[in-house]
Amino acid sequence: MRHLGQAGKIFTLSAVASVLVLSGCGSTPKPQSKPVAVNPTPIETTKVEENVTPEHKLLEAKRAWERTRDKNKRDALLLQAADLYIQNNQPVLAQQVLYEVKEDGVSNANNAYYSLLVTRTYAGMPDASPDALLAMLDSVDSTGETGYEKAQLQAQLYSQQGNLAAAANSVLKTNLPDAQKVEQVWQWITAISKKSLAQVGETYPALSPFITLRKLTEENAASPAELARNLQQFQQVYRGHVLATSLPENVLEATQLTEAGANDIAVLLPLSGRLARTGQVVKNGIMAAYYTDVEKRQDEKLLPRLRFIDTHGADSQQLVDEIGSTKFVIGPLLKDTIEHLVPNLPIGVNVLALNRPDDLPVHGELKSPLDASATQVLRSDNKAEATALKQPSMQSEFSELGLPTSLNYYGLAPEDEAKQLAEFIFNKGYRAPIVIAAQSSLYQRMDDTFKKHWKTLNSAENKQRTNITSVTFNDSNSLREGITQALDVAQSNERINQIEYMTNDEVYNMPRSRRDIDAIVAFASPQDTELLNPIIEASLNPYDGKQVPVYATSRSMDYDSGKNQWRDLQNVHFIDMPWLMPSHKWQPLQKEVEQAWDNQNTMQKRLFAFGFDAYKLLPQLGMLNTLNYLSHDGLTGTLSLNQKGEVIRKQPQAIIRNEKVHMLSE
């Protein structure tokens, strides 16, 4: 590696120039045909002192060369000068010195020190390669102060690569304070996917205690008291380990939460009017979840009081009066009702709204009283916060804003599915999809969300073009025409016709589709998706051996249409709720639901699952807000919370083969 950045070879330092002129006088030893084995020596890094400047070191290097012609000694002083430039936040000058040392040849004796300084100078720069810098660090000693600095640099470079496990392992080798080590390692360990943890523990045994702690918090997510008890045992087992004395802050916060104590729950739904059927199905799901708790607790005294309040035709004050002293609220379902009700709720109410405002800021970004209520998640079950809320000034401030104690949003927004689909396709390595969307507000919203998120994902790779081919349609004719044009089949047919016209002979050939397309995404109704999939299959070139996958969301699936639909959707990949998949883990519940509510259609099944999960989530919100890597496996998907208080829903993937739905592991 000649150099890692554009350090330049133009020097402004006369001392360096003088040293390098002297180094070219023929006294520099010529490289030998075989490397000379040199025992590694500890690297002495220079500390910035008031009376020592980089220029002093440069002049000292010049004099040492004039006096002794000792290249190793001269270069060691030059490297100390570069070290001082780095410490003085003058990286360009440090790069110039390092570049010239490299040009003159780095000896084995100074190679480790040189490698450390190059890595320090270039780490984090956009044009530097983390792989190359990590390779340079291999020659650096891993003991003493040098080893600590090497570990810090490795942690930085591994994190730039996205190798969070290796980065966390390197942090443990630094001399950072224990609390700082724990917080950084914990941040990375909780960002690693759950399925990768076993392999991480095998590769990096030092991380095993952190992995054990994460599993412990996941197993005790429903009970802060149980978590606290198990943590005491954990600290006994790992006595002497850094985690025994410095637990992560969010884990400690989680142990301070009290049991949710949701003994009185108000559910706000439209139970009359035009949305009465929708509200009733969600209510059925909530009641089903309630009765599963009845079976588990087997003590009626421990069961919460469940009240349903009809929001149809009720204003905000009426709803507040109905809620009364109830501290746990599920709903409302409609955005308008949420926006009008939330500012009027008293302190101490924990709300799981069944929808969300269109523009929801991150916690802490106050824009208006309503925005403030959406951004503040001040849990009364946190002892420190509960104490703070008792202060008169705090009570006055939050009363003015009309803030509930905890506010979270849970919805079945179609935009969320479009975003998940974009991430999944992008992570599969596809970069040039055709996106087909029906001309209705629902599917156009999904189309817009997909394209915006696709652009964001491409920007993360520093790519300006998003490489999306768009097709919109409003009937079967425009659908067929749009697909054939997007796949270049229409142009291929025109070329065949032109050749036939010019030769006056029949051309025996097949129209060919574009070969740069790697995926097709459909945002369309189930009926339109049944039409477009055969059109796509007929338009793709059958001779190039390349199968272009078709992806859709749950909005393209209808489980009530019978077998014909699955025949027409052959090989279509899609995402949907686990509850609607053929092999889920709630089979006994499904049998009970089918007996109680016979012949539910697809939409009703989704709304039922929505209500069921809402009830199950409510008592877990404190823990999910505190430990945001935790999730709940629900009927609607894997549920977690983001910094805006939104429930993030990840749905499983499936494919249709041989007229059946098959779950995919990815």
Looking at the chain, the whole-number percentage of residues with pLDDT higher than 90 is: 56
Give the residue among 314, 311, 315 at the shortest CA–CA distance from 280: 311
Two tokens at 24? 């070219």
Determine the longest span between alpha carbons in the chain, in angstroms.
98
Among 609, 630, 612, which Cα is nearest to 621's? 630
Q: Convert the pLDDT of each residue in 414-439 to its tens digit.
A: 999 999 999 999 999 998 899 999 99
Confidence at 332, pLDDT banded by 50, 70, 90:
very high
DSSP state of 199: H
| pLDDT at residue 346 greater than cutoff 70 | yes
3-class secondary structure per residue, 275-293: CHHHHHHHHHHHHHHHHHH
Separation CA 340–CA 311 (nearest Å): 12
Cα–Cα dist 431/304, whole Å: 51
- Three-state DSSP at 352 gives strand
How far is Cα 391 from Cα 200, in angstroms, rounded to an integer? 46
Q: What percent of the chain has pLDDT over 70?
A: 79
Distance of CA 43 to CAs 64, 103, 138, 142, Å?
A: 19, 21, 14, 10
Contact predicate 588/609, CB 8 Å:
no
Question: Tens digits of per-residue pLDDT, 223-271?
Answer: 899 999 999 999 999 999 999 999 999 999 999 987 766 778 999 999 9
Residue 656 and residue 566 in contact, taking contact as beta carbons nearer than 8 Å: yes
The pLDDT of residue 420 = 97
Residue 378 has pLDDT above 50, yes or no: no
- Highest mean pLDDT among 99-108, 117-126, 483-492, 618-627 belongs to 618-627
Distance in Å from the first CA to the final CA of the chain: 39
pLDDT in tens, 202-233: 999 999 999 999 999 999 988 899 999 999 99
Distances (CA, A) of 306 to 142, 283, 303, 326, 328: 62, 11, 9, 10, 10
Rounded CA-CA distance 242/178 in Å is 6
Q: For residues 651 and 154, give the distance between their C-alpha atoms in angstroms, rounded to a whole number.
A: 36
Rounded-to-integer distance, Cα 597 and Cα 108, Å: 79
What number of other Cβ atoms are within 10 A of residue 488's Cβ? 20
Rounded Cα gap, residues 410 and 498, in angstroms: 57
Round to whole Å and give the CA distance between 157 and 300.
57
Query: Residue 551 in contact with residue 421, Cβ under 8 Å?
Result: yes
Report residue 424 as tokens. Answer: 């999944």
Q: Which two tokens stand for residue 184?
A: 């950084």
| Distance (Å, whole) CA 24 – CA 318 | 90
Residue type, 274: R
pLDDT higher than threshold 70 for residue 12: no
Beta strands in 99-159 (DSSP E): none
Task: Please name which of 104, 138, 112 lies closest in space to residue 28, comparing C-alpha atoms.
Answer: 104
Q: Is the pLDDT of residue 179 over 60?
A: yes
pLDDT of residue 217: 96
Among 192, 220, 217, smallest CA distance to 207 is for 192
Contacts 24+ apart (CB under 8 A), 142-147: 142/173, 143/42, 144/42, 145/45, 145/175, 146/42, 146/43, 146/45, 146/112, 146/116, 147/173
Q: What element of type H or E holds 272?
A: none
Instruction: Assess contact for 518 and 433: CB atoms under 8 A.
Output: yes
The whole-angstrom separation of Cα 110 and Cα 405 is 61
Residue 132: what are its φ and ψ, rounded to 5°? -65, -40
Q: Are 466 and 455 in contact (CB under 8 A)?
A: yes
Q: How far apart are CA 577 and CA 584, in angstroms?
A: 10
- What pLDDT, on the 0 to 100 scale, is given for residue 302? 66
CA atoms of 339 and 361, how far apart (whole Å): 14
Q: Is the Cα dihedral 556, 288, 268, 406 positive or negative?
A: negative
CA dist 284 and 113 (Å) reads 69
Give 384's pLDDT tier (boundaries 50, 70, 90): very low
CA 348 – CA 354 distance, rounded (Å): 19
